[in-house]
Amino acid sequence: MTAVPLENLVVLREQADDLWVEGFFTVGVTNAVRAGESIDSTPSADPQKAGTINVVLITNAALTVSAMVTAVQVATESKAAVLLANRIPSWTGRADATGTGTDAVVVVNGNGPLIRYSGTHTKIGELIGRLVSHGIESGLTKAHR
Write the secondary structure of the chain as one string of H (helix), E (strand) and C (coil). Answer: CCCCCHHHCEEEEEEECCEEEEEEEEECCCCEECCCCCCCCCCCCCCCCCCCEEEEEEECCEECHHHHHHHHHHHHHHHHHHHHHCCCECCCCCCECCEECCCEEEEECCCCCEECCCCCCCHHHHHHHHHHHHHHHHHHHHHCC
Q: Answer yes or no: is pLDDT of 39 > 60.
A: yes
pLDDT for residue 138: 97
Average pLDDT for 74-99: 94
pLDDT for residue 144: 72
Query: What total number of domains does the chain contain?
Result: 1
* Vertex 109: Cα angle to 27 and 2 (nearest 5): 25
pLDDT for residue 1: 57
Identify whether 38 is part of a domain. no
Quote the CA–CA distance of 112 and 30 in Å, as a whole number.
38
Identify whether 37 is part of a domain. no
Q: Answer yes or no: is pLDDT of 11 > 60.
A: yes
Quote the CA–CA distance of 38 and 82 in Å, as a whole number.
22
Quote the CA–CA distance of 22 and 59 in Å, as a whole number.
6
pLDDT for residue 30: 87
Q: What is the CATH number of the domain that holds 138?
A: 3.30.230
Identify whether 132 is part of a domain. yes
Cα distance between the two ends of the chain: 22
Domain that holds residue 92: 6-32+50-143
Name which of 35-39, 83-87, 103-107 the model is least confident about: 35-39
pLDDT for residue 41: 61
Percentage of the chain lying above the pLDDT 90 cut: 74
Identify whether 1 is part of a domain. no
pLDDT for residue 42: 57
Looking at every residue in the chain, the average pLDDT score rounds to 90
Identify whether 101 is part of a domain. yes
Q: Answer yes or no: is pLDDT of 34 > 80.
A: yes
